[in-house]
Amino acid sequence: MLLMGMFVFSGSLYARFERFLISTFPSDNVLLARVIQIHEEHGQINGTVQWFQEIDLEFLSGSVEGEETVVHSKGLVGADDAQKLSIGETVIVARNTDLDGDAYYITDRYRLPMLVLGFLIFAVAVILFGKWRGLTSFLGLMVSILILVLYVVPQILAGSDPLFVSLVGSAVIAFTSLYLAHGFSARTTIALVGTISTIVIAVLLTVVFVDALQLLGISTEESFVLRYEIEAINLQGILLAGIIIGMLGVLDDVTIGQAATISEIKKANPALKFKELYTHGISVGREHIASLVNTLVMAYAGAALPLFLLIVIQSGDVPVWLAINGEPIAEEIARSLIGSVALILAVPITTFLAAYYYDKYAN
């Protein structure tokens, strides 16, 4: 009953949020509209089938709310049916400033309400099954996002060194997220020191790797757009910062896990000294490394999957070694290697700190 009640409450919040967004849409040039009727045709371009849709829309926001209009849409040559719109869908519509064509055109599907619903489901699951710790860890996540949005991004856009900003931001995120999620205790402090120590080492490794590989941070479309928008932006620095921030979440997991392991071992056998504590902790840490390194590499591989598929498609024209040598692939490999090395180093660093503390101060 509790679970059902929380989902009903989440659904109510979702509906209210959707109505709130629609009622406060700020511009008459960018509007929300619902698809109420579709007339579809098909044609061919150079022998390839292409579809065309004449779409009747009802505006949901702005001064034209309640009015209707007609727009025309066509798919990319060879595009599948997933790009087609359906009756009942909500879309984002922009005013056409050209003299020719429809008065409005569709820019995208409206996804925000569903994203919010997914976020609410995540929050409910974390708090419901994590109880108090789930709530505090969720608050830690919110603080981490705020640090990224209110400090890291504005500082980088203002011209600050991205690597230094990411280092400071990562330290603050580690501090707030660890203490909020795990409470103020010796094991949390040990995990924090281990995390920050590993981050410092990872920064040095990142600088060395990126400089040695001569990576410039220009392998994505987003980087070109950034350079166009902000000519003086440091794209290589942003690459460095992204590598550090990307491994932070997994790093916290490693350090708190090792600190907790040593703490529990000491509780089970208070007679154990530094050497025994370290040996037992490292034994557990090796299993941690084996799973987390694979997790990190697969996460980066999943993000770069379209790139890998493109390389396979072009393998007949371009040698594999040449593709790997290119910056897009080299960049992903560098992310995986640096992140994996940092995770590996975090285990002995945190285990050493925890074993020393519980040997000297927890008798």
String of DSSP letters for 292-357: HHHHHHHHHHHHTHHHHHHHHHGGGTS-HHHHHHSHHHHHHHHHHHHHHHHHHHHHHHHHHHHHHH
Amino acid 192: pLDDT = 92
Question: Phi and psi of 226, rounded to 5°?
Answer: -60, -45
Amino acid 191: pLDDT = 92
Say yes or no to pLDDT of 47 above 70.
Answer: no
**Mean pLDDT within 211-230:** 72
Could you give all domains of the chain from N- to C-terminal order, each with its CATH number?
A: 2-110 (2.40.50), 132-360 (no CATH)
The angle, 0 to 180 degrees and rounded to 10, between the axes of the packed helices 274-303 and 305-313 is 60
Percent with pLDDT over 70 in the chain: 75
Closest CA to 345 of 245, 208, 240, 251: 251
**pTM attached to this predicted model:** 0.74
Question: Phi and psi of 89, rounded to 5°?
Answer: -70, 150
Confidence of residue 3 (pLDDT cuts 50, 70, 90): very low
pLDDT digits (tens, 9 = 90+) for 298-337: 776 676 677 667 666 666 666 666 767 777 777 777 887 8
